[in-house]
């Protein structure tokens, strides 16, 4: 019976470097540019070292996705604990660097079931956390649960922000400034002049 293959530790600086390089390649050149050879070359290591830490390419992609997702869980919780969670969610969803990387993962998920399943599971957890944290604030904004549920608000914010970013990537921006202005006006309707949500 063969023993399990030994892999590098998760706290290793080398492992972190390989993830950083992979993230940079995905952002700059797309997920298709990522291979053990391309990561090794960019990191100045041998391809064998990539496989020591990540036995398969899917392991590398999954580790990178999980690292980003866990950071985003923390950032989201902090944003939603602030004085204006609706605006914080909107601004968080418009971060182009974070969203561009997610777009690459979504494209990758079309070709790799393990990636698709992982993204779906984290997306469900992310949405549940958002809904739970936002639900306690709706009354502060004067929003009745029956009129606009946390799930509906979150879907609308996500759909609009992704549409804006996806079209920006293509160089299409017709209607973008008007849409951003509309969202800002809507957010402003639920704030007092000092920036504190109306009670």
Domains along the sequence of the chain with CATH: 1-55 (1.10.10.60), 57-189 (1.10.357)
Q: 3-state DSSP call for residue 52?
A: helix
Q: List the alpha helices (DSSP H) in the chain.
A: 13-29, 36-43, 47-53, 57-80, 85-93, 96-109, 113-135, 150-170, 176-189
- What pLDDT was estimated at residue 198? 42
- What pLDDT was estimated at residue 1? 43
For the chain, which residues score pLDDT lower than 70?
1-11, 143-147, 190-199
- What pLDDT was estimated at residue 145? 61
Q: Which residue has the tokens 């920006």?
A: 168
- What pLDDT was estimated at residue 72? 87
C-beta separation of 54 from 45 below 8 A: no
Neighbouring C-beta atoms of residue 31, cutoff 10 Å: 23
């Amino acid at each position: 019976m063969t023993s399990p293959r030994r892999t590098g530790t998760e706290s290793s600086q080398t492992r972190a470097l390989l993830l950083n390089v992979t993230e940079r390649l995905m952002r700059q050149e797309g997920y298709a540019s990522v291979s053990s050879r391309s990561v090794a070359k960019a990191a100045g290591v041998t391809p064998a070292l990539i496989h020591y830490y990540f036995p398969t390419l899917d392991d590398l992609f999954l580790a990178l996705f999980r690292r980003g997702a866990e950071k985003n869980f923390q950032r989201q919780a902090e944003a939603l604990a602030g004085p204006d969670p609706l605006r914080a969610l909107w601004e968080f969803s418009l971060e182009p660097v974070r969203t561009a990387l997610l777009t690459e993962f979504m494209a990758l998920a079309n070709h790799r079931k393990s990636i698709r399943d992982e993204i779906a599971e984290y997306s469900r957890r992310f949405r549940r956390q958002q809904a739970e944290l936002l639900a306690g604030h709706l009354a502060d904004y004067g929003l009745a649960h029956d009129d606009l549920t946390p799930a509906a608000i979150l879907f609308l914010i996500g759909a609009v922000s992704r549409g804006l970013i996806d079209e920006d990537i293509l160089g299409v921006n017709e209607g973008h400034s008007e849409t951003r202005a509309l969202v800002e006006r809507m957010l402003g309707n639920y704030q007092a002049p000092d920036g504190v949500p109306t009670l």
